[in-house]
Structure 1
Amino acid sequence: MIFNRLFCNRGILYQNFRQHGWLGILYLITLLFSLPLHIATEHRDIPQQITSLFQSNGETHILFAITFPVAMGIFLFRYMQSGAPSDLFHGLPLQRKHLLTVNLLTGFGMILVPIWLTTAITGWVWAAQDGLAFIFNGSEIWMWGLSMSIYSLFMFMLTVAVGMCIGQSVLQGLTVYAILLLPVVFWFIFTLHLQHYLFGYPYGDMNSYAEKISLVLRMASISNYPVIGRELVIYAALALVFIPLSYVLYAKRKVESATQAITFTLVKPIFRFGLMFTLVLIGGAYFTMIAPPGSTGWTIFGYVLGGIVGYIVAEMIIRKTWLIWNGRLLPKLVLYGLLSGLILYVPVADWNGYAARVPEMNDVKSIKLGGDHYTYVNGVNQKVDDQPFYSDDPEFMEAVLALHQKIITSDLSLPDPVYPDDNYDEYVYINYKLNNGKVMKRRYQIPEAEFRQELMALKQSPDYKRVAYDTYKLDEDLLSIGIRSTISSYRKVYIGSPDQVREFKELLKQDILDQTYEEQRSPWQSFAYAEMNQESASNDPYQPKEMWSFEIKPSYDRVIGWLKENKLYDQLLITADEIASAQIVKQEIDSPGNPQWVYAEPEYIDGNLSGSKQVATKNKKIISDLLERQRSGERTEKATVYQIKLNAIRGENIYMMLKEEDLTEDMKAILADQ
């Protein structure tokens, strides 16, 4: 009786549902429209196999989960943020723990009842209706209900806990979303700071995880990255922690703190520094992006300006006035500024040894080059186990360590995160798995010419080629192989015989592993592409099989010999007799300090972009020579290239590019005559 009378006070419960119950009803309606109605009315010719109901309109589900519970938390505890209602409610013959309990129970009911009613109705639709557009198991329905419950309760309890420290409803809502976005702001902007000042920082590896650390950004990734148990455990644990925290804070909160921006003295310096440091990072990032390349002074100016503005804004919010000027303002600003400077400086300081650290051979268990691998199965991106990509081969490990050591001792400048140096044409991404169980990662951008010997020793090792060229896929079972000409997509052959597939795979693997360093860096375009068709691990009919593509370079003698032997080579080859004429136009590249990509560009000839005179020829020898040499695109500041169009007698025309040094004497002769 005491529990029902005090903790579940019927009068307050009735008042809450009468005044705020519309939020729960609206939550139910929106969930019904976004899930069961969407599933029941969606039409697809071929049903889609899904492993999570968040793959069906999941962005909308998360949007509702991060908005309605926040609104409920603000409305149910609105009495604490207004002077007269606060005096009225706290004058009732109820202790604060009773008021908090009855309002929490109201919020839990308004959240959980709509979610589980939607879950039940979705289950009924799944069981009763045939021919749904989505194929899923019953367990996915309960998983959706559990996930939505945890997400929604986390948002509600976060709003309640924040409301104990904030005395204004609008500021309470803004603070909730600021807390959700703060990790992302720190993640991206502090990463930019580290990339700017910390040599070797593996910035690219972090972006794939950013969307998972904030429910606000989870809206964009929920369809491709499924909900995992660890994520739900973290949010559930946080929601549970906020419950006793709310009781403790509510017990210490003063009634007269209603309408104040910050209700606890201890929270004020945290709020001050948090807002100030956030604007420090934003100011530094902004001026880093708009400043000319290499202008470090502008970045420092951005940090200082952001800190000053952030501190002043925080002080105005706390005092609720712009009249904040007094003798203690400047000393506090200096103190917070020094603390911000230390946080920015310590991670990038030379004395911490990060930039100069190269592990000893005896401390390294294995090494992987490159980032994470992902595969798309049943509509979601899944990270591939990276253990097969690590190598403990001594020769490979020594080559990586030698390259790393030379990078450290070389006088390379830090890469500009906004204006990267395009002359640095080699990316080195090293993952060391150490004997102590830790993983050490470094990423560098280096000029190939300066590190040619070290790169040659590394890239000629079999373990490098195995990962860089995905040769491990050639050890797997294949259904068939499709080979498509690089020049013409209409020229293609298929290999379906198991014996031929096995022979082709072995020869291709040998050719890849036998490549020299020069062949790997060859500027010539591949002869063809081989598409490996596998059985799919997916149950989605839209994704019936997996495909991997491998280049067939002109230097792959075994594969090309096999194609000739099996009378497939001529089916891919285009001869001069099939070409009516060739058009050639000169293109000059002259942009010092501003490298640009140059590649075969149909519009350059067809649209006459240069306005230069075009040279045409029907000489079969010249056309035959052109068919045998096609340069890949490249990035350059100064070069003379020739855009070429081969006019086919039948079928598609062919576009290619050559540099001046690639021209034969016959080509030079006809160009000189014009």
Structure 2
Amino acid sequence: MKWGMLVMQSKISLVNKEIRKTILRSVGWVAIVHFLGLIFAIPLEILMTATGEQRQYIRAESLFYFHFEIQAVLNIGIPVILAVFLFRFLQVKSYSDFMHSLPIKRDSLFHQFALTGIVILIMPVLLIAIIVSVLYNPLNLAEFFTWTDIFKWIGITIMFNLLVFLAGVFTGMISGISAVQGILTYIFLLLPMGLLILLGYNLPFYLYGFADRYVLESKIEAFSPLVALSQVSFRPLGAIEISIYCALILILYGLSLWVYKNRKLEAVTQSLVFPLLKPIFKYGMTFCTMLLGGLYFGIMEGNSTWLIVGYVLGAMLGYFVAEMVLQKSWRIIIHIKGLIIYAGVMALLVFLFQFDFTQFEKKVPDLSEIERIHLSDNSYLYSDNEDAFFLSTADNMDLIRRLHKDIIANKNNNALSNNNEHAFIVYELKNGKKLVRDYSIDKKKFAHFYKLIHESDEYKRVTNGIFKVKEDQIEKITIRPYGPIEKKAVIVDPIDMKEAIAVLKDEINASTYEETIDNRDPLASIEIRQKNEKTVGLEWRISYKLFEEWLDKKGLLDQAKVTAADISYAYIVDTNDLEINFVQGYSYEEIFEQMSKLGRAIKVTDKKRLEESLVNTSVMDDGPYMIGYYYKADGSIEIKSFQAENIPDYVQQYFK
């Protein structure tokens, strides 16, 4: 009996040894490709740059700095290739029959393949780390990164490699076709983030005020390991993110083993080996393509009819493609009943959304619940700005609440148009929660609210960095005119700087809402540089007449803005007379040449008219008239336009 057991153990040991040899013969090349790719990306790049003149340009903060694109491709591609070729025996019937006829249990067979694959995946990474460690002292690499950075690179690279590899192993357990396994792996890794994006962009069509841009900026890249991996060179991973990825590695390993032990051997060559997964795949794909179609047509056309058309076309495309994958043929049998049931369920969901059971659309916090409020035109001013501004006085918070209620009440009138702007509102509540809303509105309809808010002392104070500047900490003030001209005014005298700051504060305090939304171009940018090397920027608006007088008194006016003396002449034309190809692109020189050849063009050389034009033009847009300036200094060209409300009298009279 004991002899029999020894013989059996000997046979199993021999089988295990042969399996390992088979694995190395079949996928050993993957490790070699992985190693050579990493050699080229890191050690070779370090040798080429750190030992030559390029050394001074190296700005490495980690090993991911060196050919990160190549590293990303290897980290995303190699684990999937390894998983596909390693478990190839599950997709080929003769190979599968042979492997499962061996005197070895399924769980042991799985561990053999999976663990050997993990070793094959890790070894190139460790070898590269050893090579970099050998080069570290001789090449003085401490100048660029630390030993800790090397260990971080090892840990992050191995973690992502294992996560992608085990995702590939898991999809290999549920699929009987290698190509499907590879495709499903990437779908599996991208699906959570992709679904969030599709839902996020579609929800505003059903939840009025849903802040899709804000939600989609809130680190959703962490929901896809592939996207997180593509950003690891500039976005460090958090502890929670790393913990979740490590947990997923263990879960995927255990889940893959469980699925493999319950997989039927005859499922070879089937797209999905478990019947339960087929409807999930089919309707999941239909749902995703439906959202994509709705997103495209809804945004492009901007109305509910095209939104529905997008949903229908997207759903049909997804349904048919899913059937082709499952039936492994383009000549498919259409299961129209399933499509009708799906359409009915989606129609019911859309119908239920109309009732707003959660009161999402009508929710406006009570004044007593609010700590402070952020109101701006863009979510970036809140989410990506460390100096995000807030309003906290009772008057302003009440005005914003009333504005919010008025926007909701006029929901049906706030139709999308090219003139619409965003009203982005964040209520930070006393209980620590937030209520975020984003609306596309025509601000002119709500100008009475914006005027009161924007002209308040609090709003001007929190939205203009100049009020945070300490006068004794100012190093210099630089004024640079807008346009293609190289000149600037610099103020360094302490008394002059103090006076300039005082005048600018007075201008801001006296400015009206109408002046702040004036579509005419500002005259110049003003940069206030402080002794701590921080800078505060603001614009010299057309309405800042006191500041202009002060600059003139100090003899700085000609250097601080573009004047008629800087321009040789200008052409003014009717915009309709120009042929501008906005699709293929254009240059100012081409437009100016057209202007010079038009019979109806005005050639302006009079200095007074040039000065009048300079203060009434906007960036090149769709204004009724355009003007092209020819600068004296270097013959450069600048094209601008007159908006309807800012057209000089002499231009209107000429084109009557």
Decide: shared fold, TM above 0.5: yes
Q: How does 1:251-262 map to 2 (within 5 A)?
A: 251-262=261-272
Query: Deviations for 1:262-297, whole angstroms, at most 9, x for unmatched residues?
Result: 22233223222212212322333444466x553x33
Structure 2 CA distance, aligned partners of 1:642 and 1:268? Answer: 61
The answer to whether the aligner puts 1:214 opposite 2:224 as a matched pair is: yes
1:456 alignment partner in structure 2: 451
- How many Å separate the matches in 2 of 1:667 and 1:185? 53
Structure 1 residue 514: deviation in Å? Answer: 4.1
1:521 Cα deviation from its structure 2 partner: 1.6
Q: Which residue of 2 aligns with 1:137?
A: 146
Alignment of 1:485 with 2:481, yes or no, is yes
- The residue aligned with 1:354 is 360
The 5 A counterparts of 1:363-374 are 363-370=369-376, 371=378, 373=380
Cα drift, residue 298 of structure 1 = 3.8
Are 1:19 and 2:26 an aligned pair? yes
Q: 2:465, 2:537 within 8 Å by CA — same for their partners in 1?
A: no
Matched, 1:93 2:86: no
Query: Structure 2: which amino acid aligns with 1:354?
Result: F
CA shift, 1:140, in A, is 1.8
CA spacing shift, 1:529–1:587, aligned 2, 3 Å? same
The 5-angstrom pairing of residues 263-412 of structure 1 reads 263-288=273-298, 292-294=301-303, 296-320=304-328, 325=333, 329-342=335-348, 346=352, 349-370=355-376, 371=378, 373=380, 383-385=384-386, 389-412=389-412
Unaligned runs of 5+ in 1: 376-381, 537-544
Cα distance between partner residues in 1 of 2:328 and 2:624? 66
| Alpha-carbon distance between aligned partners in 2 of 1:111 and 1:573, rounded to the nearest angstrom | 62
Range that drifts further, 645-654 or 308-317: 645-654
Q: Measure how far apart 1:442 and its partner are.
A: 1.2
Q: In structure 1, which of residues 572, 580, 585 is the aligned counterpart of residue 572 of structure 2?
A: 585
Q: 1:120 to 1:439 in 2, by over 3 A?
A: farther
Residues 175-215 of structure 1: per-residue CA shift (max 9 Å, x gap):
11112232343233333322334322222224434544334
**Which deviates more from structure 2 when the two are superposed, residues 134-143 or residues 440-449?**
134-143
Map Cα deviations across residues 93-142 of structure 1 (whole Å, 9 max, x no partner).
2111111111121111111111122122223333321489x823332222
Question: What TM-score comes out, normalization by structure 1 length?
Answer: 0.82
Are residue 632 (structure 1) and residue 618 (structure 2) matched? yes
Q: Which structure 2 residue ranges, 5 or more long, are not aligned? A: 1-5
1:55 deviation in Å? 3.4
- 1:58–1:222 contact (8 Å) kept in structure 2: no
Post-superposition Cα deviations, 1:276-326, rounded to whole Å, max 9, x if no partner, equal 212322333444466x553x3343233234334433443443344678659
Of the structure 1 ranges 89-98 and 4-13, higher mean CA displacement relative to structure 2 is found in 4-13
Cα distance in 2 for partners of 1:108, 1:4 equals 25
Distance 1:223 1:501 in 2: 42
Specify the alignment match of 2:627 in structure 1: 643
Point out the more displaced range, 9-18 or 142-151: 9-18
Letter in 1 for 2:556: L
SS in 1 for 2:188: helix
* 2:600 corresponds to: 613
Moved more, 27-36 or 602-611: 602-611
| Partners of 1:343 and 1:36 in 2: CA distance | 56
Indicate whether 1:171 and 2:166 are aligned: no
Q: Please state whether the residue corresponding to 1:437 is helix, strand or coil.
A: coil
Maintained 8 Å contact 1:166/1:260: yes
Q: Are residues 437 and 149 of structure 1, via their aligned partners in 2, closer, same or farther at CA, if it must alter by over 3 Å?
A: same
Q: Could you list the per-position Cα deviations for residues 533-579 of structure 1 after superposition, in whole angstroms to 9, with x for gaps in the alignment?
A: 4689xxxxxxxx76553102243356445545544335425665x36
Normalised TM-score (structure 2): 0.84
- Give the stretch that moved more between structures: 217-226 or 355-364: 217-226
Q: Which residue of 2 aligns with 1:572?
A: 560
Moved more, 397-406 or 32-41: 32-41
- Whole-Å Cα distance in 2 between the matches of residues 488 and 262 of structure 1? 62
Q: Tell me by how many angstroms 1:640 deviates.
A: 4.1
Cα gap change, 1:524/1:205 in structure 2, threshold over 3 Å: closer, same or farther?
A: same
Shift of 1:413: 4.5
Q: In the superposition, relative to structure 1, how do residues 522 and 223 fare at CA in structure 2: closer, same or farther (>3 Å)?
A: same
Distance 2:223 2:479 in 1: 43
* Equivalent in 535, 538, 552 of residue 540 of structure 2: 552
Q: CA deviation at 1:158?
A: 0.7
2:432 pairs with one of 412, 430, 437: 437
Question: Using the alignment, how far apart are the partners of 1:88 and 1:323 within structure 2?
Answer: 33
Pairwise mapping of residues 102-251 of structure 1 onto structure 2 (< 5 A)? 102-130=112-140, 135-208=144-217, 209=219, 211-218=221-228, 221-251=231-261
Kindly indicate whether residue 537 of structure 2 is the aligned counterpart of residue 530 of structure 1: no
Report 1 or 2 for greater relative contact order, CA contacts < 8 Å, sequence distance ≥ 6. Answer: 1
Relative to structure 1, the CA distance from residue 487 to residue 156 in structure 2 (aligned partners, 3 Å threshold; closer, same or farther) is closer
Relative to total residues, which structure has the larger helix share, 1 or 2? 2
**For 2:405 and 2:295, how far apart are their aligned partners in 1?**
31
SS of 1:607 mapped into structure 2: helix
1:389 counterpart SS class: coil
Can you list the C-alpha shifts for 1:488-543, whole angstroms capped at 9, x where unaligned? 6322122345665566456534533443212212234323211244689xxxxxxx
Task: Out of 349-358 and 647-656, give the one that drifted further.
Answer: 647-656
Greater CA deviation, 517-526 or 234-243?
517-526
SS in 1 for 2:318: helix
Q: Distance in 2 between matches of 1:181 and 1:236?
A: 17
Provide the C-alpha distance between the structure 2 equivalents of 1:374 and 1:59, rounded to a whole number of angstroms. Answer: 31
Deviation at 1:86, TM superposition (A): 1.5
Aligned-residue CA RMSD (Å): 3.9
SS of the residue 2:428 aligns to? strand
Residues 474-483 or 441-450, more deviating: 474-483
Instruction: Look up the SS of the partner of 1:526 in the other structure.
Output: coil
Which region of structure 1 is more displaced relative to structure 2, 242-251 or 203-212? 203-212
Residue number among 94, 109, 123 corresponding to 1:84 in the alignment: 94
Counterpart contact for 1:7–1:101, Cα < 8 Å: no
Cα deviation, residue 64, structure 1? 0.8
State yes or no: 1:31 paired with 2:18: no
Asked if the contact 1:631–1:656 (Cα under 8 Å) also holds between the matched residues in 2, the reply is yes
Q: What SS does structure 2 have at the residue aligned with 1:395?
A: helix
Confirm or deny that 1:63 pairs with 2:79.
no
How many residues in Structure 1 have an aligned counterpart in Structure 2?
638
